[in-house]
Structure 1
Amino acid sequence: LLPDESVLFIHPDLGIGGAERFVVDAAIGLNQQYQCRTGILTTSCDPRRSFTEVQDILQKDTGRRFPQVFVKGDFLPRSIRGGCVRLCKNFSMLYAVLWLVYFGPVYNAIIIDQLPAIIAVLQFLIGKNVKLIFYCHFPDHLCNPWGDMRSSLYTSIWRAAYTNLFDGIEKYFFLKAPCVLYNSLYTKSICDRHLGKHHTGRVLYPIMKLCNDLEISNQAHTSIRTEIPGFSQEDILILSISRFEPKKKILLALQTVENMLVDVPAFWKTGTSKNQKEIRLLLCGGYDDRLSDNIACMNELQEWLRDHPHVDKVVTIRTNISEDFKWQALRRADLVLYTPENEHFGIVPVEAMSCGKVVLASNSGGLRETIGPSGLYGVLVDANPRAFAQAAIELLKDQSRRQLIGSHSIERVRNIFSAEACITTLHNSLF
């Protein structure tokens, strides 16, 4: 071990999401497994909507020295009259990087995600003495190609010019990055198509915290049902965990439950009147009331529930949940729904699989790679309420099948997505 192994992660907004989960777990993992001095540089971090580990670091309630978290540029605007989000994001990150170069601690390896142009700034200011890696979750312009601008303020010509400018910047500096890692083969294929093939590109699956009971036998593990306040052990609990954004298609979870209630009402009402099983849907995820897409998503869900009171009474929504609550919910769930289409990787499905739970997801994108062949480690179907509802009913009626899939999924997580193996791969890429 070299005494000067140090790694900095640069991420625009350290909130609650899959990209942030990778940054936090990778920084902690490198420190614990290889004693690297690690840090995280971000332009925004609200303790109310961040992971427990980040909250502890910010409040200095942890005994560990690393990773350090540096928040620089949070006073800068996130948008201009609701638009120009990409411009503001790049400008804020430029400010943070300038602070790092002139006032921050020195690192000999830096990992940047989402904004490849920052790599060029670092190369110009610090030369080639620092190993620079761009970790690609997905091309930024494909995540929200038009939502960045408001048509009421800009003509289509200016909108196209603005978008093409930042798309071109992303593509140019992506190809100029000295080293690129992708979070999945699916992401690599999309980047090859839209950004161009990078000469160093290879896949590093996200480093993530998994269920800490993997040593339990598969049969025992798939039968774990922890208690959650507000939910009866007799309830049939369906769980959905996704950020409250339109692209996550959370409405599909509500529509799935609606179809299930219509199709087989007798299935949810069994036994005596004093001991009836009822379906319950728990929606969890990160929510930021500063982001217009988060607000729009929540308003859509609440409006739909007001129009469907028979579904509303079985739905519970919880935002910005703690890590402890997330694992409680995953262990308690009878079925996990994952509704996004063409997801880059899907950390929540892997977390659920590590708990021996069956994941029902859309048959698209990186989920085919994450979950694997449908029916063996999880179930993949077309992303429509009818298909989701039919598959959910079949799974909930067959407990032995759920246990078998759960056992297989635990083995898949052990063999492919273990944190130790991914951290070793990352460390070897850095040093």
Structure 2
Amino acid sequence: MRIAILHPDLGIGGAERLIVDAALSLQSRGHSVDIFTSYHDPCHAFNETKDGTLNVHVLGDWFPRSFWGYLHIVSAIVRQIHLAILLMISITLSIIISPNMSFSVWYKPTQRYDVILVDQLSAAIPLLRLWLKTPVVFYCHFPDKLLASGSIAPVSGDGKTIYPAQMSTLKQLYRIPMDRFEEFSTADADALIANSQFTSNVIKNTFVDITHSPIVIYPSVDTTDLVGSAGDLNGARIFLSINRFEPKKNVNLAIEAHAKLIENVGKQERNYLSLALAGGYDARLPSNVDCVQNLEKLCKVHSLVCSFIDEANAINPNDGIDVYFMLNISTQTKKTLLNSSSTIALLYTPTNEHFGIVPVEAMACGKPVLATNTGGPVESVKDGETGYLLPSDPLQWSHRMKNMLSSSNQETSISCCKARVEELFTLKRAGEKFEQVLVEAVSHGLTNQRERGALLQGSVMLFFVTTFIVLLMMII
């Protein structure tokens, strides 16, 4: 099959890792895969997207991510529709003029794709289906309708109950056309994929137009590339957190739990204990900048000494550092941290996380995971065997962390973790499921017959959205 993947911003994060692994798994099964994105910075991207392993094409990276720090979703919608239009023009010109002709303005595919996999944002789906007459599969990570209400999605831990969003009246009015357009465009896809049963439940209970349950395909990890040998890091004993530096990731929990832990261990043991906070960081995003600054302040509140480092080997108990910040770590550094014998466990702090690929990566390296008992980790972590699922309470976490310091069944834990990954989360298993869904979409064609009115409805919706925004800006 000839497969096109549309992804908003191809940076470093769980969502990006997921789509990169999906592309790799499909490519390994003999399919032709092209990734189209609105933004890709080689200095802030996974190796496979910049070393030629995957074909990545950037279209329309000039459009802003927000307007004066606001209207992020409007900008995201426009960026994706702009990306889709450029792709559609490219394909159309290639077919009409010459399948073998190379154009200089945009990257031009030399043939039509058999199926298009749209990731994260659904805005362009009706347009793609109507113009190209090509089946479109949507990989939904989580409804933006719920993410817009705050840092933690207003849903129950199993995703089966949706609570009323807490937003200002003005924001509720602003969200009405956005939410309706999201539901309409999501329902227009020929097939829906969710990254966990939790997310599938949320989608089904959020969008009334969707009558069938999304197909669950768990994100995968390439164990051959990730798992390796890494020795001791200068005698340190480390609790590791890997997350993007965003408020919704709740990294505060790791700092507070670590602070309580070191209060209850001997001085000698404390000297060797460290907390490593690693993950993606984008200086363009105020939320990232504010998050790191607030985490630094929290360390000072708890009298924890913190330091910023780039490499895992810089962790040294003799430095007297309690918390290490590691922004935008390289793939190799991440691999070292996960495989090092100094790392005791992964602390995965988000609440109602859609799935969370990092716990799977940690288990693949034989590391147990301590996570909240909500969202995707409930499906990936086997409580009591490959880690522990607890409420988001620093005291409970610190008690469990103390027990893990003196755990005597380390070998059993390592084997259980690795067996869990081999059972559910390998590239081979994900590739098989992706291939099955995409092949069925191609064989069934445009099964969703709503596309005739899709462009008209979508255009009308966008007209009202634009009008509403202009009026709102005039009022403000």
- TM-score of the superposed pair, with normalisation by structure 2: 0.78
For residues 54-69 of structure 1, the aligned pairs below 5 Å read 54-57=49-52, 64=53, 67-69=54-56
Tell me, yes or no, if structure 1 residue 345 matches structure 2 residue 360: no
Which deviates the most, 404-413 or 192-201? 192-201
Tell me, yes or no, if structure 1 residue 302 matches structure 2 residue 304: no
Distance 1:49 1:18 in 2: 14
Gaps of 5+ in 1: 58-63, 148-154, 215-220, 270-276
Tell me, yes or no, if structure 1 residue 30 matches structure 2 residue 26: yes
Alpha-carbon spacing, 1:319–1:211, altered in 2? closer, same or farther (3 Å)? farther
Q: Once the 2 structures are TM-superposed, how far is the Cα of residue 267 of structure 1 from its aligned partner?
A: 6.4
The CA deviation string for residues 387-427 of structure 1, in whole angstroms up to 9 with x for no partner, is 111001001111x3333222111111111111101101111
Of 293, 303, 320, which aligns to 2:328?
320
Distance 2:58 2:226 in 1: 34
Distance 1:120 1:111 in 2: 13
Residue type of the alignment partner of 2:432: T
Which deviates the most, 98-107 or 204-213? 204-213
* Contact map agreement 2:244 2:280 (CA 8 A) in 1: yes
Tell me, yes or no, if structure 1 residue 226 matches structure 2 residue 235: no
Of 37, 42, 56, which aligns to 2:37?
42
Q: Once the 2 structures are TM-superposed, how far is the Cα of residue 144 of structure 1 from its aligned partner?
A: 3.4
Alpha-carbon spacing, 1:263–1:170, altered in 2? closer, same or farther (3 Å)? same
For residues 149-168 of structure 1, the aligned pairs below 5 Å read 156-168=168-180
Q: Once the 2 structures are TM-superposed, how far is the Cα of residue 175 of structure 1 from its aligned partner?
A: 1.8
Of 96, 119, 124, which aligns to 2:83?
96
For residues 149-188 of structure 1, the aligned pairs below 5 Å read 156-188=168-200
Match of 1:381 in 2: 390
* Contact map agreement 1:181 1:204 (CA 8 A) in 2: yes
* Contact map agreement 2:344 2:404 (CA 8 A) in 1: no
Distance 1:90 1:355 in 2: 38
Q: Once the 2 structures are TM-superposed, how far is the Cα of residue 107 of structure 1 from its aligned partner?
A: 1.5
Q: Once the 2 structures are TM-superposed, how far is the Cα of residue 141 of structure 1 from its aligned partner?
A: 2.3
* Contact map agreement 1:283 1:317 (CA 8 A) in 2: yes
For residues 127-146 of structure 1, the aligned pairs below 5 Å read 127=133, 130-145=134-149
Q: Once the 2 structures are TM-superposed, how far is the Cα of residue 211 of structure 1 from its aligned partner?
A: 5.4
Of 437, 451, 461, which aligns to 1:429?
437
Distance 2:6 2:265 in 1: 49
Residue type of the alignment partner of 1:76: F
Q: Once the 2 structures are TM-superposed, how far is the Cα of residue 300 of structure 1 from its aligned partner?
A: 0.6
* Contact map agreement 1:287 1:294 (CA 8 A) in 2: yes
Q: Once the 2 structures are TM-superposed, how far is the Cα of residue 305 of structure 1 from its aligned partner?
A: 2.3
Partner of 2:409, secondary structure, is: helix
User: Would you say how many aligned residue pairs link Structure 1 and Structure 2?
Assistant: 388
Residue type of the alignment partner of 2:370: L
Distance 1:40 1:68 in 2: 6
The CA deviation string for residues 247-280 of structure 1, in whole angstroms up to 9 with x for no partner, is 00011111111001111234615xxxxxxx6101
Distance 1:320 1:198 in 2: 40
Distance 2:138 2:46 in 1: 23
Match of 1:205 in 2: 218
Partner of 1:310, secondary structure, is: coil
Match of 2:131 in 1: 125
* Contact map agreement 1:237 1:280 (CA 8 A) in 2: yes
Which deviates the most, 312-321 or 400-409? 400-409
The CA deviation string for residues 81-102 of structure 1, in whole angstroms up to 9 with x for no partner, is 1100000011011111111001
How much identity, in percent, do the aligned residues show?
33
Partner of 2:137, secondary structure, is: strand
Distance 2:190 2:226 in 1: 39
* Contact map agreement 2:81 2:123 (CA 8 A) in 1: no
CA RMSD of aligned residues (A): 1.9
Alpha-carbon spacing, 1:211–1:257, altered in 2? closer, same or farther (3 Å)? farther
Q: 4+ residue runs of structure 1 moved beyond 3 angstroms?
A: 155-158, 211-214, 306-311
Residue type of the alignment partner of 1:133: V
Alpha-carbon spacing, 1:403–1:266, altered in 2? closer, same or farther (3 Å)? farther
Distance 1:207 1:307 in 2: 38
* Contact map agreement 1:114 1:140 (CA 8 A) in 2: no
Distance 2:284 2:324 in 1: 22
Q: Once the 2 structures are TM-superposed, how far is the Cα of residue 429 of structure 1 from its aligned partner?
A: 1.3
Match of 2:256 in 1: 255
Tell me, yes or no, if structure 1 residue 107 matches structure 2 residue 116: no
- TM-score of the superposed pair, with normalisation by structure 1: 0.86
* Contact map agreement 1:145 1:163 (CA 8 A) in 2: no
* Contact map agreement 1:211 1:327 (CA 8 A) in 2: no
